[in-house]
Structure 1
Amino acid sequence: MTHTPLLSPLEQLGWSDFFAEQVKPEEAGFAPRRISSVHRARIEAIDALGPAGLELPANINTANFAVGDWVLADPSDDMFIRCLERKTVFQRRPENGRAQQLVAANVDTLFIVTSCNADFNLPRLERYLIMANEAGSNPVIVLTKADTTEDAVTFQQQAEKLQPDLPVILLNGRSSEARDLLAPWCGIGRTAALVGSSGVGKSTLVNTLVGPDAETTQKTGTIREYDAQGRHTTTARSLHRIQGGGWVIDTPGIRTLYVSDVADGIDSFFSDITERASHCRFRDCSHVHEPGCAVQEAVMSGALAADRLDRWRTLSSENRERTPVLGRTRDNRNSKPKRY
């Protein structure tokens, strides 16, 4: 019979050897604290005992912190010392933005939440999966509002085809059963983050996971019936303790998800295309009209879906155009993309 080792209070918060090994001998007197929420002008932290102070120097930008970060602080005055290297980080490039926006850090599992209604969108789910894989977090698709439709299993089957061995969970976010269904990814000391559009039930699901006795709950809102879109009831990222163990990070709804700086993630997710592309007759094959194109041959034979190839082209082009090129002038948006 095997016994699960008891975790220290700090390990229950997500601390591990990965972070402990970064602390230098001369920093032994500093206190590890975890970022629990990020706001425009302040950040909040917790430690093994609960909420903990964290004072930032005047020149520090809160945008440089992510919920889930581990930092060192001087326990005598709560002054921030430095941020430890992240084990995983989920970030996105917002519309009209050149800098990546930090969403969550040190996340073990990324719950990609969508609902069994008009919000369900396979291309958007692909974008989340690419970014989850690039971040180093394990993706799980969570289909909410499964109790509102008779076609829930159809949504589940479509999502399962996006990636081999991809967990896809059907649930009602208000039901206590939801906590049991997600329990395999919510163990003590583990951290999950919820991402998805507004109105899909992320905050409702967070409230279910943290339980009725939680000190704080997330606001929830209604959605428009015709397009299943909701309001941004969550306006800041925040870390919450899950009832029974583990932590969950809630994030504001993302209306438009762009990909950039994730070329490796795209190639990995679309390996069925990139592997075939290596067998094309021409090295710079556009996979559109060239003779000897292994990708087009797969489309014509039915081995590769044409719409999947179209989505790969779209994402690859978007990644090139939205990823800043080092060594160029500040504005490189007019640089000519490489032909596909």
Structure 2
Amino acid sequence: MARDYSRFLPTTPGGSTRTTTLSTLERLGWQPFFAQQTSVEDLARTPAVRVTEVHRDRLRVQGADFDGTIPFRPDVTVGDWLLYDRDRPAASRLLGRKSLLKRRAPGTGRQIQLIAANADTAFIVSSCNQDFNRARLERYVSVVREAGVAPVILLTKPDLCPDPQRYAAEAGTIAGDIPVVLVNALGDQPKAALADWCRSGSSVVFLGSSGVGKSSLLNALSGRPVAATRAIREHDDRGRHTTTGRRLHLLPDGCAVFDLPGMRELQLVDAGGGIASLFADLDSLARRCRFRNCGHETEPGCAVRAAVEAGEVDAARLARWRKLVREERFNSASLAERKAKDRAFGKAVRTILKQKEQERR
């Protein structure tokens, strides 16, 4: 029997708005952005599936009529959309992404680690305690903006703090256009507080250190314990890793929520645009410096240092900006260097193999 795939394709201009309940694909986050990359014929031959779990050797994918696994692929992460190839699952086509969160992989390697794809909103979570760190929040905001995701700052555990508004006020000065929400991760409060972003068909992600309440927030939105939680260490308010894998949970109301491990290290890479957006005032001042490669330290004609001396720019904020810029440039350059070396090595290997083949002839 022929199937109707029209609901999975873009609506035409002026078309009527459908008011029926969401389909399975739409609950998974299927949107016109992805539909525009395919066709009815493509969907009939290779149905759309979304990566909902990432494991060392396999990926779990779910679609309208499919829930199974395919072999692990380093170019795919949780949240990605694929056109599932029944004959060659590992060769399933990866659709273009609306957004991609990534970082330089922890350790001494020079690799990019894909965190999550196609999120609409990123909740950057911090607690109203010793975990609160302005520099860390700025780092997360830079990564999120570069990824093409809308950031929202969530401050948890306000009930355990004598003055939570102090934290909210400081978080609000990071960027005036970023919403700041105080929320108790336990109970029913998150459902109402985050309802504007956790809409049916949307995909949201919680980012932050271990122990800030990300798993508790997911459980509160789900209405049941889908994620394990653990207590923080009392002496320093530091959390312990609870979530160890990367998963996408579907909430009863049709919102998809990423469940990711806490990140103690978020090394920036390819995030120059996000940093420039967050520090737009400093980026604009830097363009007025006498030297294009000004380090904003002791160089003559430095517009940034002049603004600091005039009291127009906070010296601590300048230091944080310079640190992020240096780190991003170093990591991006290191990765570019590695890619260039890999290409050169591959070319050398191909040349040697070609020479050996010619000698055998």
**TM-score, normalised by the number of residues in structure 1:** 0.88
2:138 pairs with 1:126: yes
Question: Is the aligned partner of 1:30 residue 2:46?
Answer: yes
CA distance in 2, matches of 1:30, 1:281: 56
Deviations 1:269-308 (A, max 9, x none): 2111110112223333221123332111211222111011
Deviation at 1:83, TM superposition (A): 1.6
Give yes or no for contact 1:174–1:204 (8 Å, CA) kept in 2. Answer: yes
Aligned residue pairs, count: 321
Q: Is 1:172 equivalent to 2:187 in the alignment?
A: no
Superposed CA deviations along residues 229-272 of structure 1, whole A, max 9, x for unmatched, are: 11111000111122323111011010111111212222222111
Aligned-pair CA distance for 1:143:
0.7
Gaps of 5+ in 1: 331-340
Measure, in 2, the Cα distance between the counterparts of 1:291 and 1:155.
38
Listed as ranges, the matches of 1:1-340 within 5 Å are 5-6=19-20, 7-23=22-38, 27-28=42-43, 29-48=45-64, 52-56=67-71, 61-74=72-85, 81-95=92-106, 96-212=108-224, 217-323=226-332, 324-326=335-337, 328-329=340-341
- For each residue in 1:85-105, what CA deviation from the matched residue of structure 2 results, as whole angstroms up to 9, or x when unmatched? 111110111222311111111
Unaligned runs of 5+ in 2: 1-15, 343-361
Aligned to 1:334: none
State the one-letter code of the partner of 2:298: H
Cα distance between partner residues in 1 of 2:40 and 2:193: 42
Structure having the higher Rg: 2
What's the secondary structure of 1:183's corresponding residue? coil
Contact 1:63 1:101 in 2 (8 A): no
For residues 99 and 275 of structure 2, the distance between their equivalents in structure 1, rounded to whole angstroms, comes to 18
Summarize the Cα distance change of 1:79–1:290 in structure 2 as closer, same or farther, 3 Å threshold: closer
| Contact 1:38/1:62 (8 A) holds in 2 | no
Percent identity of the aligned residues? 44
Counterpart CA distance in 2 for 1:79 and 1:277 is 47
**For residues 30 and 101 of structure 1, do their structure 2 counterparts lie closer, same or farther at Cα, with a shift above 3 Å needed?**
same
TM-score where L is the length of structure 2: 0.83
Change (3 A) 1:261 1:77: closer
SS in 1 for 2:252: coil
What secondary structure does 1:185 align onto?
coil
Q: Secondary structure at the match of 2:276?
A: helix
Does the CA-based 8 Å contact 1:13-1:48 persist in structure 2?
no
User: Hey, which of these two has a bigger chunk of helix by percent?
Assistant: 2
